[in-house]
Amino acid sequence: MSICYVNGSYEEKTSAAISIQDRGFNFSDGVYEVMSFSGNSVINFDKHVKRLSKSLDSLRIKKPLSNYKSLELILKKLIKENKLDKGFIYLQITRGSCSRNHLFPKLSKPNIVIFTFTAKLDKKFILSGVKVRLTEDLRWKRCDIKSISLLPNVLEKQNAFEEGMYESWQTRNDLITEGSTSNAFIVNRNGFIQTHPANNFILGGVTRDTLIEIAKKNKIKVVEKAFSSSDLFLSREAFLTSTTAKILPVVKINKKNIGNGKPGQMTQALIKMYNELVKCQIHE
Ligand code: PDD
């Protein structure tokens, strides 16, 4: 049994249904969040809620829940019902169901779907690092909205997989924006952490923001400035961040080693610090 939440009711995941007139289904007219949980605690909940609220406002979709305390209660109930110690939550809100017309519907209510899932991260990725390929960023100019429209991301993730790599890092005018499912970082030649600024060309990752906070707290200099492919090849270390992968060392780009081709010291220190911070958020 796996229980999900659909528009106010808790249902078995395999039989839960949403209308074929859902605008997410017809137009990708919706937003989503992926959160992680441990015990009964949703990690970085406030940051996810803030980004969800921004995504909904950007697309002018009404908020289906009166406040985020009720969302937290729903998430906790789902975690309990599904009897999971650790895992992830997928939440999707679309503009609602109505007959197909590009114009916003006048009467429909947003559809909200939430379910839990588990995903095992290969330990090898953390210990030995992952390989990444570079590719052109074909996406629109509002990548800051966590929209459910993910075709370029899906295609580039698949291309990476088929080439035996973990991720594709996308470039605009030779500047690395972000991965197809994660944010991109280097430790540059000066030993500073460098990543693309959180503007409309990237999704402002919750893990990205948390990592930047941790680094600054530990007096590690962070530069939010886009880096080029040559900056990348000359960098000391590289890594990526996302809710599902947390922090993963990147050791090869397009078959070229980064540094000595092994996870870097700074990356390993950041992984430790991040895991400590997550531990502090878990209230069993
Ligand atoms: N993806 N950039 C993109 C394009 C992403 O899809 C994601 C996350 C991130 C990292 O964001 P965060 O740290 O908030 O997870 C950056 C999620 C996990 C997904 O679509 O499954």
Using one digit for the tens of pLDDT, what is the confidence trace for 123-137? Answer: 999 999 999 999 999
Is 234's pLDDT higher than 70?
A: yes
Q: Which atom of ligand 1 is nearest to the CA of 203?
A: 2
Please list, in sequence order, all residues whose beta carbon lies within 8 angstroms of the beta carbon of residue 98, skipping any fewer than 6 positions away. Answer: 21, 23, 105, 107, 108
Nearest to 56, CA basis, from 33, 78, 26, 74: 33
Question: Residues 54, 62, 146, 279: which is the catalytic one?
Answer: 146
140 alpha carbon – ligand 1 mean position (Å):
16
* pLDDT digit string, tens, across residues 7-24: 999 999 999 999 999 999
Is 284's pLDDT higher than 60?
A: no
CB 26 less than 6 A from any atom of ligand 1:
no
CA–CA dist 202, 130 (Å, integer): 21
Nearest to 223, CA basis, from 257, 247, 189: 189
Question: Stretch 39-45: mean pLDDT, rounded?
Answer: 96
Best residue among 37, 117, 121, 242 to mutate for probing ligand 1's pocket (most ligand atoms within 8 Å of CB) is 242
263 alpha carbon – ligand 1 mean position (Å):
21
CA–CA dist 25, 31 (Å, integer): 12
Is 72's pLDDT higher than 80?
A: yes
Whole-number percent of the chain with pLDDT over 70: 100
Reported pTM:
0.97
Which pLDDT band holds residue 264 (cuts at 50, 70, 90)? very high
Which pLDDT band holds residue 108 (cuts at 50, 70, 90)? confident
User: What pLDDT shows up at residue 186?
Assistant: 98
User: What pLDDT shows up at residue 161?
Assistant: 98
Best residue among 203, 210, 241, 270 to mutate for probing ligand 1's pocket (most ligand atoms within 8 Å of CB) is 203
CB 34 less than 6 A from any atom of ligand 1:
yes
181 alpha carbon – ligand 1 mean position (Å):
5
Q: What are phi and psi of 107, to 5 degrees?
A: -105, -20
Annotated catalytic residue 252: no
Please list, in sequence order, all residues whose beta carbon lies within 8 angstroms of the beta carbon of residue 66, skipping any fewer than 6 positions away. Answer: none
Question: Stretch 91-107: mean pLDDT, rounded?
Answer: 96
Q: What is the mean pLDDT of the chain?
A: 97
Give the end-to-end CA distance of the chain in Å, rounded to a whole number: 24
- Contact at 8 Å (CB) between 22 and 47? no
Q: Which atom of ligand 1 is nearest to the CA of 206?
A: 14
* pLDDT digit string, tens, across residues 146-164: 999 999 999 999 999 999 9
* pLDDT digit string, tens, across residues 235-259: 999 999 999 999 999 999 999 999 9
